[in-house]
Chains A and B, each alone.
Chain A
């Protein structure tokens, strides 16, 4: 059996991969490294609603150039709809219209936003104070008391806002605050109270930019004005200041989305950070798609974000292949470490490791009871899955109570994977003893951590996402390793005694 076709295949894969990557680099000027670049966010808003068969008018707020961000380009996709952009006193809105539509509708709006730290905020007009605020009893007394208390402790509009927000802290809420919260939503309530006290303020909606997130929604913020300036406050915490990754989507106190002629309307956001050479980012080229320029960048943003993760999986798998075939590390379940590493990417390494160890340890204890019951395998693993969900819920609630936000992110761990890990570890414990559990469990974790470090490396992320040819090179590499008949690194230790005599 000749191995020649095999080596030819490997050679062709490798050369094709290299050629594709070179083409992308030289022809399309995609840089090799993520450094020396400008960060561009692609943000996609997806509007979903159900049309009722009548004329439909969709009115959505749009972001504009603002402090920290410069709007580069924008695109929309809305088959059959008429579209116009309306600008009124600095606030931009998109209006989609159609004479007749029925059933589920989707409209897309995509904007490329350049991170520009030197971009100055536009001069914002102080909004008029609302004088028409009327409270019903007994809310009027509660509002007055809260305002008076905060007023006494403050010196200017910003300190007043801060003190007022503190009145609504979880720990410090008094009866007045609680009473008002039963009747009003937090953000509109705060704006209302500020206005009543004669401090101009309004609610704005912003998007927290985080790479690769999908199905995000806007968060509410409160802008507070004095005569010259304005400041941003987080209504939940009372913290003052604009986070670096906050893109203000709607800054005029209007509704973000209004739909006439449709129901169940909502808007969700996907976003992706991409590094481009400064020049390219500004030039915002639109290269036409050819076979050689075969690119996932032409996909909708939501799919792109998904692919960014998917394209990293081969890197994690390569780490597993190297560690198992070349080094000889034992792992429990072949590609389990890659899945654990993917979870680490969601949770961050330290939280992920601690969460994983906690859940597996508690799971093992509970599983050891289940093994007394002599259940059938599938039923037993199902019981473990339910237990794992229980453990994760308890940990999340506890972590939240202790004020650890990180605790919440362990919910990103795939439950089924955790359950199988626990099941395998438990069987290993019964059959081979705790030592093997440590060896294989430790091996899995070491592999997962290395896979995580490889996958989370910004350079690797950049290369895998921008150069699809790399996947072919990886394929060639893995085929070659699969052909390796030499010794594993750890076998040099295992077989050492034989060479001694």
Chain B
């Protein structure tokens, strides 16, 4: 029985289970009609541009098979870029080109591709190879994110992203997802990425978990996690909070990245964010969500961020354990 806990203890911690999330939050606050806004990355991107929310720059889109032939002209002059399907899920079909040398396109792993390989990849995207249910899709070409060098010691291969849960426009909980060798460069926690809970007030690390067990350092780089601080934190929170006005979705997972030059950017949105963020923070979402349900409508994003930073401040557990 050492592997199991009781419902009473979970409730005391304010942990939210899958059923409660589905009925009380997603069912009640997310209108299904709005889902396409987040399921289609192109729509999200165009919407974000309208609302002044920074996203990785859109180089162009390819919507037709004959358009594939012009991809060379579209990409000319861009040294690094990312090609992804608009309706892909779970990171499938994303092609990252770090730099271009003459006729060669070079992936982060060092593998080289020719223009025809890129064209075939895009053609596959269009025919729906990576989209849900095989529906015809659109390919997006985005500028490459130059992620903040200060974070490179905390991650392995992939770009680390920051997941902020936004409830009725209030940022309620945040974590950073660091890819590891075990997760094969992907940032999915159930595949072995490290989740680091972040203090909403300051953007500093609270606690780290991998495979649901506490960790204090990165398994591959060996760097300790306690010193992790997200630069430009208030801006990032403000961007995340703004996604509520943008989509109208009440319970939202926002995935942000930090660009060296342009600071925090919105990468993508999720209308059904998972619950692992509670593990990374060592705390349940329940009390924070209850508090926000009592707040009135029509508060400005700035005021919401200020409210969240004041009420959801936490001291790092990593520091206290380090001191002890």
Contact = CB atoms under 8 A, between A and B. Distances in A.
Contacts of A483: 23
Contacts of B23: 483, 485
B28 to A, nearest CB: 9
A495 B282 contact: no
Contacts of A487: 7, 10, 15, 17, 19
A491 B19 CA distance: 10
Nearest to A381: B134
A376 B5 contact: no
A218 B80 CA distance: 75
Interface residues of B, number: 35
Nearest to B28: A1
B7 A486 contact: yes
A134 interface: no
A497 B279 contact: yes
Contacts of A328: 18
Interface string A475-494: 00000000111111001111
A499 interface: yes
Nearest to B281: A498
B126 to A, nearest CB: 11
B191 interface: yes
Contacts of B12: 499
Interface residues of A, number: 25
A374 B124 contact: yes
A341 to B, nearest CB: 24
A286 interface: no
A325 B133 CA distance: 25
A350 interface: no
A484 B24 CA distance: 10
A484 B17 CA distance: 11
A493 B3 CA distance: 6
Contacts of A501: 282, 317
A36 interface: no
Interface string B6-48: 1101101101011110011000000000000000000000000
Contact of B134 (A376, A492, A495): A376
Nearest to B24: A485
Contacts of A485: 17, 19-20, 23-24
A325 B22 CA distance: 11
B129 A492 contact: no
Interface in B98-155: 124, 127-129, 133-134
B5 A496 contact: yes
Interface string B186-215: 000001000000000000000001001110
A432 B91 CA distance: 11
A486 B19 CA distance: 6
16 contacts: A376-B128, A378-B134, A432-B191, A485-B24, A486-B19, A487-B10, A487-B15, A488-B17, A491-B15, A491-B18, A492-B6, A493-B3, A494-B212, A498-B13, A498-B15, A499-B5
Interface of A: 325, 328, 374, 376-378, 431-433, 483-488, 491-499, 501
Given A325-B19, A483-B23, A499-B12, 13 more contacts: A328-B18, A432-B191, A484-B19, A487-B19, A488-B17, A488-B19, A491-B10, A491-B17, A492-B4, A495-B5, A495-B13, A497-B209, A498-B282
